[in-house]
Each structure stands twice: as C-alpha cells, then as structure tokens.
Amino acid sequence: MPDPESTLLQSWHHNARAWIEAIRSGTLASRVQVTDQAMVLAVLGRQPERVLDLGCGEGWLLRALTERGITGVGVDGDATLVEAARAASASPVYLASYADLVEAKVDVGRDYDLICANFALLHQDIIALLAAMNALLAPGGALVIQTLHPWSVAAGDYQDGWREETFAGFNGQWQPMPWYLRTLSSWFNALDMAGFCLAALQEPQHPQSPVPQSLLLVAEKRSDHNK
C-alpha cells in the first residue's frame, strides 16, 4: 500500500496548476465567501509586522498581506506553486518540504511575529513541524492555523485517520489526494506537545450554511518552551 504522506505530496505536484487556476478564478466558494477573509482578519487581529506563510501555495495570502502593509515571506514544497507565488508577488518565497523545515535544511528566516498555515497541515505527523515553527517565532509570537473543521467533514467517523479528497465537481484534471483528519482534541494535543498554548478558536461559518466552513486556531508560543 502506498505511503499516504508520499501520495499527498505527489498529488500536490500533479494538481498544482489546476489548484492555481481554481484559486485565482475564485471557483472555491467557501474560500471566496468565508475562509480567505477569516484568515486575513485573524492575521490583522494580531497586528504583526513579519509573517511566514507556511504552505503558501500560489501566494494569495502573501499578496493580501502586502496590500495591508505587512511583510510576508512564503514557503511551499511544490516548485510550480512557488514559481507562481514568486511571479505574482514581491514577497520572498522559499522552496522547502516540511521535512526540510523540520531538519532546518532551508533557512526561511526567524523571529516572525506570526506564522500562518492555511489549509496546509494535511499530513499525519505535524508535531515536529509545529515545534520547528515555534523556534522561528519571536517571543510573544503566534501561530494561526486554518483547517478543515473535523466535525463538518467527519461523515459520521469522528476519529483521527486518513481520508481522501477526490476533487469531484472541480474543473480540470485532478489526482485524488489523501489527507489526515484530526479531531479537535488531537489538534490541541499536537499544539501543546509543540510548545504552544491555545489563545483563540474560531469556527468561520457562512450564514446560509448549517455547518462551519473551517476551524481556525490561534496558538501562542509558550513562554516556558525551550527553557
């Protein structure tokens, strides 16, 4: 059986151009109507000067930060997405896998006021990556994670485990993508083990939808971490 972590990365490589088109054409209604704004408002609420966009994709958040006078730096593991982000933004964008970041093989800077991960933490083993991000934050820095709301997408099976996104209904040629569903308590435990404490939790919701569109977590660097 193929390793889901490897298949996840391969699917991003395969789907990169279709993803760029989907984001830039505004075809993902939940993002246009709810989640993009939720992420931007969460960032602005922290009033950061420097932000690292982890898993920046084609760079929409970097552009939104620049428009608001915030210095953004991006990093992504797919070369096609990095190239697109660089072409559409003046922000520096690094090519690095999450394993590269965990092992500090690529220097993406440090002392960030804020690190964002917008639908970018889809794999199983995230604690080492979160801990690596903790080390890149300035004192008092925070991590903002927006992800699929586990209650909304569990489909009656509310437990940690691999699922599959088939991109049914999306235009273009898509390769199915495995992703790891993490329960609410699992998110909290991962943040705690990586040296964070939860500061805020939001459940962005469209007024015409009966379920949340996403889960948005704001976690602060714990002062006792790495002492």
- Considering only CA atoms, which of 13, 5, 1 is closest in space to residue 179? 5
For residue 52, the domain's CATH number is: 3.40.50.150
Per-residue pLDDT of 24-43, as tens digits, reads 999 888 999 999 999 999 99
pLDDT at 227: 44
Residue 143 β-bridge partners: 115, 219
Range of the domain at 8: 4-221
208 is a domain residue: yes
Q: How many domains does the chain have?
A: 1
Give the phi and the psi of residue 148 in degrees, each rounded to 5: -60, 135
Q: Can you list the positions of beta strands (E) in the chain? A: 50-54, 71-76, 93-95, 112-118, 137-147, 161-165, 177-181, 196-202, 215-221
Of all residues in the chain, the percent with pLDDT exceeding 90 is 89
Lowest mean pLDDT among 18-32, 57-71, 102-116, 117-131: 18-32
